[in-house]
A and B are shown apart, each in its own frame.
Chain A
Amino acid sequence: MTPREERFDLVVVGAGPAGLSAATEAARLGLSTVVLDEQPSPGGQVWRAVERAAADAPLAAALGAEGRAGAARVAAFRGSGAAYRPETQVWQVERDGRVMASCAGIASVLRGERVLLAVGALERPVPIPGWTLPGVMTVGAAQILLKTSGALPDPGVWVAGQGPLVWLYCAQVLALGGRVAGVLDTAPPGAWRAAARHPAAVATAWRSVAEGLAWRRAVARAGIPVHRGVEAVEALGEGGRIARLRWRGADGARREAPARGLLLHEGVVPNVHAALSLGCAHAWDDAQACFRPVLDPFGRSSEPRILIAGDAGGILGARAAGLRGHIAALGAAADLGRLTPAGAAARAAPLRRLLRREVALRRLLDTLFPPRPALAAPADEVVVCRCEGVTAGALREAVQLGALGPSQAKAFTRAGMGPCQGRTCLLPLVGTIAAARGVPPAEIGPPRVRPPLRPVTVGELATLAEAGGPRLA
């Protein structure tokens, strides 16, 4: 029995700032709209469980204005009339607008005249020695634990990395009465001076800059040790989990400390998995050292039915994501004849003005926290593909054997062929091959992403079989 295909004007994948904003606006413009999301409640990662947090006074206080903005956005979405499917995993999107998803083990097919991928960002993978050890996680992961479960790090948990989230997380932990053992700040020491060369950006983004400084001050006031200019962080294991940390300080000296846990963060990169599987054109972004889809000003991709909004279209942050979601909804409405092109442009103009401020902030952040080349092409012994345990050295051997790019390197090593389907290793895989061949990552290009986007059971797939399907041997 083939399940009925449900039709919508707009299928939105992801209920973060971009998806919520797009769906709310699309519904207001009269588009039949549905939002599919993996989480049990709206908000995405940045506003994870934000409705529940709003009811928890200390947590709400720690999440601050950003949390309040999220709660308001979620409330607007709840009242918008857009359909909402939580705890739903999208495992395939096709160019014709079909979206395959599963909820509680039941697969279904939806079809959108337009599909908006608002699937957000991923934390940049941090391939360092020992990053696969239990006890090594991302800062974003720890923050999700804080938002959803009020979990605080035990004594002996360190934070290593760079970017606003490092300091925001530490400040939130402190505000809730917890602490971290120390911060290994990997931002290049000269970056603030470089940022001073962008006074306009600093001026535009002053509020964010002040916020960031306040988080740092909170960490300093709490007496948490902060090591600046850190490089070559390693996690050392014992008894099957992390036991010690090693790093090189700004003075070049090697240091070690016992550790019960290590939280890593080196910024975020667009989640391009679904867009790559659709064959949407992508470009290499040098400033952010990642691939991002090529989009028009309304978020339209190279595939006519597919739009992309928010950080999935290039990192600009949560506030920008809301604006970009709104703009993409205008683009979809124009495509479907609900707005004239001129009408859509007129509505988009004020949003684009607001967006420019966020772009300025991002330029500043890119200068302050530049992607570190050591993470793009790690040392031979470092695991690049966690799922299959493939090291950078094994990838370099594949290049020696003649692999010019990710397709052949994957075939030779199995890198990217495990359950995460190459999401986590995409950038270090491409970076390692590029460095081994001495060519820029843009020339290597992203790997071809194959469906399903999420593992799906044979049983779920079987329920979608139709009479007259292709012949099997």
Chain B
Amino acid sequence: MAGAEHHDIAVVGGGMVGSAIAYGLARRGARVVVLDQGDGALRSARVNFGLVWVQSKGDGMPAYARWTRRSADLWGAFAAELAEATGISPEHERRGGLAYCLGEEGFEARRTTILRLHNQAGPEVYGLELLERAALERLMPGVRFGPEVTGAAFCPHDGCANPLRLLRALHAALRRHGAAYRPDAPARAVRPDGEGFTADTPAGPIRAAKLVLAAGHGTPALAGALGLRAPLRAERGQVMVTERVQPCIPLPANGIRQTADGTILLGTTHEDAGMDTGTTLAGEAAIAANAVRVMPGLARARVVRAWAGLRVLSPDGFPVYHRSARFPGAYAAICHSGVTLAAVHANDLAEAILAERLPDTLRPFAPERFDVPQAA
């Protein structure tokens, strides 16, 4: 194995999850290499809506709600630190977020959801409030809502960021902290080599004492050799963006948000489409119809681009963080909320990997949970 590059930690995957972990490791002094795919990477991060979102997370897993909330709380300092290190601001804002209700039925369904969430993780985690239409209108001055809008759930801990700038800032910060970014060296196979791990790449073998798999949909194929488990399915999400318009939507919502640039993001579909990242007219039209139901004025906005990505979902939809029992230096991290969780990935998770121990708060995320038969 003479001649192979050697690093402290190899992170496989340079998307939102891998980059955040690698940045956290590099910032703490580790010599990190990021093995990424080239320009054709699936890059699920691209389907991202840019929400730093608490309110819908963790229904069925309170630990995930708390993990999400912790990340949302860390995000402000995380963004400031990235901006200071790189001059690239991820444009983080945290002024609360909305989930609109359509019809009385939608309003009542939302009330039930809020109760259920508060019962699981505690109201202090979510702080959700169900607003009637009049209160919603006071919160969103100047916005004309469609006749079907009956109100919205409001979560004060929600916010948003610019995912493209976040990824760029993370890559710039990686470079600043001396990490090697290798888009020419995607890991084709990884294996324990006695002292650590070797990744076989088109650019030759790359060795590291520890290895973190954060390769999204590429993870399952690599995980087995390291005694890691990463059961995954892909769920397609389509998103559209409009041209820049004057600021007109004060707060972000799941499905409608105006960016700092003035563009309006509209989304998103949840589809089983295999690994097809194409957009469909049916998807675009459904997104548009929903947007117009909520805010009829959006009908005049011009869509300049539609795209799609594949969410990285475990069987229950919650993240998987796994440390290999057989090869303790190997870790896997897979989740679909790469932006929201970027702050905990760059802090808590990076620290845990350096400390060689996943904390108790992450125990519920181990893949062993999939072995427990579901109660009927």
Chain A interface (Cβ < 8 Å from any Cβ of B): 92, 94, 98, 100, 109, 398, 401-408, 411-412, 414, 417-419, 421, 444-445, 450-452, 455-459, 461-466, 469-473
Shortest CB distance A82–B (Å): 25
24 A-B residue pairs with Cβ-Cβ distance under 8 Å, sorted by A, are: A401-B171, A401-B172, A405-B38, A407-B39, A407-B43, A408-B39, A411-B43, A412-B171, A421-B305, A452-B306, A456-B302, A457-B302, A458-B288, A459-B292, A461-B289, A461-B303, A463-B285, A465-B289, A466-B282, A469-B285, A470-B282, A471-B271, A472-B290, A473-B56
Which 8 pairs, one residue from A and one from B, show the smallest C-beta to C-beta distance?
Answer: A405-B39, A459-B299, A469-B286, A461-B288, A465-B289, A455-B302, A465-B285, A470-B269
Q: When chains A and B are docked, how far (Å) is the Cα of A459 from the Cα of B289?
A: 8
Shortest CB distance A406–B (Å): 7
Q: Which residues of B contact A407 (CB under 8 A)?
A: 39-41, 43
Mask for B245-277, Cβ within 8 A of A = 1, else 0? 000000000110000000000111111000000
Any A CB within 8 A of the CB of B314 = no
Q: Which residues of A contact B238 (CB under 8 A)?
A: 470
Given contacts A451-B306, A456-B302, A462-B291, contact A473 B268 (CB under 8 A): yes
- Add 20 more A-B contacts to A404-B38, A462-B285 (CB < 8 A): A401-B171, A402-B14, A402-B171, A404-B184, A405-B40, A406-B39, A407-B40, A411-B168, A450-B305, A451-B279, A451-B306, A457-B299, A459-B292, A461-B288, A465-B286, A469-B285, A470-B269, A470-B271, A472-B286, A472-B290
Q: When chains A and B are docked, how far (Å) is the Cα of A401 from the Cα of B179?
A: 11
Shortest CB distance A95–B (Å): 9
Complex contact B286–A473 (CB within 8 A): no
Any A CB within 8 A of the CB of B158 = no
Q: When chains A and B are docked, how far (Å) is the Cα of A405 from the Cα of B36?
A: 13
Contact partner, A458, options B14, B242, B307, Cβ 8 Å: B242
Shortest CB distance B285–A (Å): 4
Contact partner, A419, options B243, B266, B267, B290, Cβ 8 Å: B243
Contact partner, B306, options A94, A418, A450, Cβ 8 Å: A450
Q: Which residues of B contact A411 (CB under 8 A)?
A: 43, 46, 164, 167-168
Q: Which residues of A contact B298 (CB under 8 A)?
A: 458-459
Q: When chains A and B are docked, how far (Å) is the Cα of A398 from the Cα of B169?
A: 11
> What is the total number of residues of chain B having a CB less than 8 Å from a CB of chain A?
54
Q: Is the interface of B mostly helix, strand, loop or mixed?
A: mixed
Complex contact A92–B300 (CB within 8 A): no
Mask for B36-59, Cβ within 8 A of A = 1, else 0? 101111010010000000001000
Any A CB within 8 A of the CB of B301 = yes
Complex contact A402–B36 (CB within 8 A): yes
Q: Which residues of B contact A470 (CB under 8 A)?
A: 238, 269-271, 280, 282-283, 286
Complex contact B183–A402 (CB within 8 A): yes
Shortest CB distance A195–B (Å): 38
Q: Which residues of A contact B183 (CB under 8 A)?
A: 402-404, 408
Shortest CB distance A260–B (Å): 31
Any A CB within 8 A of the CB of B181 = yes
Q: When chains A and B are docked, how far (Å) is the Cα of A452 from the Cα of B240?
A: 10
Mask for B1-20, Cβ within 8 A of A = 1, else 0? 00000000000001000000
Shortest CB distance A419–B (Å): 5
Complex contact B168–A473 (CB within 8 A): no
Q: Which residues of B contact A464 (CB under 8 A)?
A: 281, 285, 288
Q: When chains A and B are docked, how far (Å) is the Cα of A404 from the Cα of B292?
A: 38
Complex contact A462–B289 (CB within 8 A): yes
Complex contact A461–B305 (CB within 8 A): no
Q: When chains A and B are docked, how far (Å) is the Cα of A138 from the Cα of B144?
A: 42
Q: When chains A and B are docked, how far (Å) is the Cα of A463 from the Cα of B288?
A: 9
Q: When chains A and B are docked, how far (Å) is the Cα of A450 from the Cα of B291?
A: 20
Q: When chains A and B are docked, how far (Å) is the Cα of A459 from the Cα of B266?
A: 13
Q: Which residues of A contact B285 (CB under 8 A)?
A: 461-466, 469
Any A CB within 8 A of the CB of B333 = no
